[in-house]
Homo-oligomer: A and B are copies of this chain.
Amino acid sequence: MELIEAADVTVIARGAAILGAGGGGDPWLGSLMAQHAIERHGPVRLVPPGELQDDAFVLPVALMGAPTVIVEKAPAGDEFRRAFASLEQYRGRAVSHVGCLEVGGLNSMVPIVSAAMTGLPLVDADGMGRAFPELQMVLLTVDGISCSPMALADEKGNALLLTAVDNEWAERIARSATVEMGCSATIALYPLNGREARESLVPHTLTLARDLGLLVEQTRAAHEDAAEAVAAHARGRVLARGTVVDVQRRTVAGFARGSAIIEGFDEWAGSRLELDFQNEHLVARLDGELVASVPDLICVLDAENGEPLTTESLRFGYRVAVLALPCHERWRTAAALELVGPRKFGYDHDYRPVAP
């Protein structure tokens, strides 16, 4: 894929929803914005990270806040330009490429909107290869790259330039400012040079999202099994197929925590799969045994049509297929697991890598 045309957007959005591992926000509204921006400003040029020159100035963009609010209070459009301008002024040079931090969910679409509006090329990569709830949870942090200076802009015209002592402090301060701004804000952060973008981002993830999205479409058309096809393409496996028989939710400190129980059918008849989630799916247990855990991707698809389901959309009676897809191998180091491993999310067990 060298160009993202308006017609590609919904396909990428579907794949991004799979890579969201249940979280990251439904990309639907973002896909409308991205289509609109491409129709108005022209297609977006997608650049593989390997083609970046060292002196490139890559600026990743995202929305911060509660996806439920973002859906109701869409960015006005001007935020991207203002966030870019403030970092360009700070750095004294122009941004050369738009970047993506979180390919999973809504934040796959935000860089497409931004690239279309600014006319800049978009790097085919992201900071995590999935979705995570906090801004420091990217491989860039593991590599010691600061998210500062970071720009934050809201739809009212408020703008903020933050230089934090570390990425955790940036998360805390930016989160509280975002809440005050009405629970959503456009952010531009982790300004990268070409070498950093080549070495620290997960490459080709927008293309991967497009491929997964297409796969669901093609297998459905061919009456084949989307879950098996997605698992095979991403070198993961189907953990179970079954019916949702219970969903518990509670909001804890601004995060949507909960769990779901799935009673197996097909070859999993008589088995019981339990999912825990906090925005994203965190761990999966099959008959009490841990079969997948964060940072691997635990994804839930509609068993009939292969459409990805977010944790918010899980309902009693839904027939689903649950997949585990391996995370990027760099998430499996000790330093990375300290940032996003099961213990970080309150579990007292180690990460158990999923194997195909």
Q: Which A residues have a C-beta under 8 Å from some C-beta of B?
A: 86, 89-90, 156-165, 169, 172-173, 175-177, 179-181
Contacts and interface: CB of A to CB of B under 8 A. Distances in A.
A165 B161 contact: no
Nearest to A156: B165
A256 to B, nearest CB: 21
Copies per complex of this chain = 2
A152 to B, nearest CB: 9
Contacts of A158: 162-165, 169, 173
A251 B179 CA distance: 22
Sort A-B residue pairs by CB-CB distance and give the 10 closest, nearest first: A176-B180, A157-B165, A161-B161, A159-B163, A176-B176, A158-B164, A160-B162, A173-B180, A172-B180, A156-B165
Contacts of A181: 173
Contacts of A165: 156-158
Contact of A173 (B89, B161, B175, B177): B177
A89 to B, nearest CB: 8
Nearest to A169: B158
Contacts of A172: 180
A89 B179 CA distance: 28
Nearest to A90: B89
12 contacts: A86-B163, A158-B165, A158-B173, A159-B163, A160-B161, A160-B173, A161-B162, A172-B180, A173-B177, A173-B180, A176-B179, A176-B180
Nearest to A159: B163
Contacts of A163: 86, 158-160
A157 B166 CA distance: 9
Contact of A162 (B90, B159, B169): B159
Count chain B CB atoms within 10 A of each CB in A165, A173, A175 and give the residue with the most.
A173
Given A89-B90, A160-B160, A173-B177, 6 more contacts: A158-B162, A158-B169, A159-B162, A159-B163, A176-B176, A177-B177
Contacts of A173: 158, 160, 177, 180-181
